[in-house]
């Protein structure tokens, strides 16, 4: 009889120990996932803060590109609004749309070589590039943490612990579109693109350089 009681007590202790370990493991994975998401949130906010200044800088050289500027502004507003929800399933599409609008903005900037001499534009470009790099690293870390946490919620016996104690819920992944995984950049090569005929703000366009007279059009 004594042996039976000892065995029962040992089994109860093992079960309780297993429950404690399972619960603590879930807490650690949940906290790691929340911490990983907070890193994404920081980089997204920094990204959102850089964009208005970037738009204003480019606007000074390409004021007529109103459609592009409006698209970036609206995409940023949608991303900020989605970010307030804290739901990766809503935030990721909004951020992907913002990345697409930024590529359009940089495509416009490439047509104005004067911008490469503007220190504020260069600094904003470098800061945005650094932010995108950090965001990509944070995204991968978060998705890895979210995967481990979701697997733990679905495997025995942690799924029983999660259901019994509550407070543990599966989390979504922060997925970027394949096209948006590349950091948006402006490439100013040795060969300049078409220049703004009006030149920098406040500078009148000069006369065209002298050259040979144009011949008759080819037949």
Q: pLDDT at position 193, please? A: 40
Report the C-alpha gap between 7 and 13 in whole angstroms: 10
Residue 187 CA to residue 190 CA, distance in Å, equals 10
pLDDT score at 165: 85
C-beta of residue 161 within 8 angstroms of C-beta of residue 22: yes
Full pLDDT tens readout for the chain, 219 residues? 788 888 888 898 998 898 899 999 999 999 999 999 999 999 999 999 999 999 999 988 888 888 999 999 999 999 999 999 989 989 999 999 999 999 999 988 888 888 877 888 889 989 999 999 999 999 999 999 999 999 999 998 899 889 888 789 999 999 876 554 444 444 433 333 434 444 444 443 333 444 444 444 443
Predicted pLDDT of residue 178: 55
Where do the domains of the chain lie, and which CATH numbers do they carry? 25-175 (1.20.1440.20)
- The three state secondary structure string of 95-108 is HHHHHHHHHHHHHH
H-run or E-run covering 109: helix 88-109
pLDDT value for 179: 53
Distances, alpha carbon 40 to alpha carbons 63, 90, 129, 149, in Å: 33, 14, 15, 17
Omega into 34 within 30° of 0, i.e. cis? no
- Enter the tokens of residue 210: 């002298």
Q: What is the pLDDT of residue 177?
A: 65
**Nearest CA to 53 among 130, 134, 125?**
125
């Amino acid at each position: 009889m004594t042996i039976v009681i000892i065995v029962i007590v040992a089994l109860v202790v093992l079960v309780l120990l297993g429950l404690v370990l399972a619960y603590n493991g879930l807490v650690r994975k949940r906290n790691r996932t929340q911490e990983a998401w907070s890193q994404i949130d920081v980089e997204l906010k920094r990204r959102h803060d850089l964009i208005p200044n970037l738009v204003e800088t480019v606007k000074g050289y390409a004021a007529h590109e109103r459609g592009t500027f409006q698209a970036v502004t609206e995409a940023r507003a949608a991303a900020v609004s989605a970010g307030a929800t804290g739901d990766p399933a809503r935030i990721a599409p909004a951020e992907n749309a913002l990345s697409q609008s930024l590529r359009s903005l940089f495509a416009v900037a490439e047509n104005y070589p004067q911008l490469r001499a503007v220190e504020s534009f260069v600094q904003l470009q470098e800061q945005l590039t650094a932010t995108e790099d950090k965001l990509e690293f944070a995204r991968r870390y978060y998705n890895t943490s979210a995967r481990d946490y979701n697997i733990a919620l679905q495997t025995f016996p942690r799924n029983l612990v999660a259901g019994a104690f509550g407070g543990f819920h599966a989390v979504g992944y922060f997925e970027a579109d394949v096209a948006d995984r590349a950091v948006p950049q402006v490439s100013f090569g040795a060969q300049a693109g078409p220049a703004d005929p009006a030149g920098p703000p406040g500078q009148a366009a000069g006369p065209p350089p002298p050259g040979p007279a144009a011949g008759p059009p080819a037949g």
